[in-house]
Amino acid sequence: MTAEIRKRGEDVPQAGSSREPRSVSVLGSTGSIGCSTLDLIERERECFELVALTAHRNVAMLIEQARRLRPQFAVIADATLYEELSAGLAGTGVEIGAGRDAVVEAALRPAGWVMAGIVGAAGLAPTLAAVRRGASVALANKECLVSAGPLFLSEVARSGATLLPVDSEHNAIFQVLDTAKLGSVDKIILTASGGPFRSWSRAEMERATPEQAVAHPKWDMGAKISVDSATLMNKGLELIEAHYLFPVGEERLDIVIHPESIVHSMVAYVDGSVLAQLGSPDMRTPISYALAWPDRMATPCAKLNLAEIGKLTFEAPDPVRFPALTLAREALKAGGAVPTILNAANEVAVAAFLDRRIGFLDIAATVEAVLSAMEAQSEAPRDLEQIYEIDGFARIRTEEVVQLRGR
């Protein structure tokens, strides 16, 4: 798949070129990924034509974005906010929509490049819609491949769509991996910052608050992703995503803790060479690479000064303090519906922690309990409807576990 990505990219219009502006839709425009994407677009506004923007519930920000950037179509996923969106964009000429179906419609609009920035299972249907029409999809929603990897890859192959990884780790691998010679790869090494609790004991993590968990030391991310980083489930989900993006086999995928977040991932080759992509911890770098690919575009990101940084450190992850990594790798090995269950259970458990219904260590324990309870569910989902069905069952079971733990 990655070899096909590089070959097809030569036909994609490039930012900063004399070609026609690249048509772009941003799914999840009010989230951190969406806002960073729009920041880059505004810096070279003449290179881009905005087709659609979508948001979940942040109608005020969506109105502000749409009034400033004038996309053709603006959509709020929460249908109860339709009137507010309509009033806020009155007289602008921007077409509006509301509800889940409207978000999918936004993905179906004829943008050549689509940022899939909707967090969680809610991003599955619109991202798949963009894939099915053969768009270049900048994939920031890791759950698409975690919950529905085989389905997504089959649709990519059928439609000729292009997947461009946006997660900093996968984007780094994409930049340094020789996709034509995967047999020469010894290891693909994903780096992890270690999150805010990297050096905490389990006793300390047991008392961790949502405020502490979302205070990431390096990255500015949404609450859910920040908690995933604190448990290291984020890295576990990225391990599964890497398995689908870069087919070298699970046994050749590794994780290392790198607290400086300067080396974003590495590829080790059989001759002993290790190629790494380095950069300041700013999501606008990987987003810009996807946005301008196969070219590059200027960004306002801080330039790397290795002399100032002084040293880069690495350490092995601790599976005792961070069991989410083991859960994710075991789910990947099990295959079938298990990664779908893992993702759904984690989403519910993280939400329960943010609502102060369970403790921090209960997140991984809850996910493990759900995986054990649903271990017989091994058949791979055949279609999106079955994925939603499994996802729904897993969420119900997780809520039951949460209620028991919260008592």
Chunked into runs of 10 residues, the chain (407 residues) has average pLDDT values of 40 53 97 96 96 98 98 98 98 97 98 94 93 96 90 95 95 95 96 94 96 82 87 96 95 96 96 96 95 95 93 96 97 94 95 96 97 80 90 95 83
Using CA atoms, how far apart are residues 78 and 154, in angstroms rounded to an integer? 30
In 3-state terms, the chain is what percent helix, strand and coil (to 5)? 50, 15, 35
> Do 235 and 190 contact (CB within 8 A), yes or no?
yes
Query: What is the pTM assigned to this prediction?
Result: 0.89
Find tokens 């179509």 and name the residue: 73
Nearest to 98 by CA among 141, 68, 130, 55: 55
Confidence at residue 223, expressed as pLDDT on a 0 to 100 scale: 86
Using CA atoms, how far apart are residues 73 and 66, in angstroms rounded to an integer? 9
Confidence at residue 3, expressed as pLDDT on a 0 to 100 scale: 35
What are the tokens at 70? Answer: 């004038």
Using CA atoms, how far apart are residues 191 and 258, in angstroms rounded to an integer? 6
What are the tokens at 36? Answer: 């960073």
What are the tokens at 279? Answer: 């950069």
Question: Which runs of consecutive H residues, i.e. helices, occur in 109-142?
Answer: 124-132
Confidence at residue 377, expressed as pLDDT on a 0 to 100 scale: 66
Confidence at residue 12, expressed as pLDDT on a 0 to 100 scale: 44
- Domain annotation for the chain: domains and CATH numbers: 2-166 (3.40.50.720), 168-282+304-330 (no CATH), 335-407 (1.10.1740.10)
Helix (H, G, I), strand (E, B) or coil at 406: coil
> Do 152 and 128 contact (CB within 8 A), yes or no?
yes
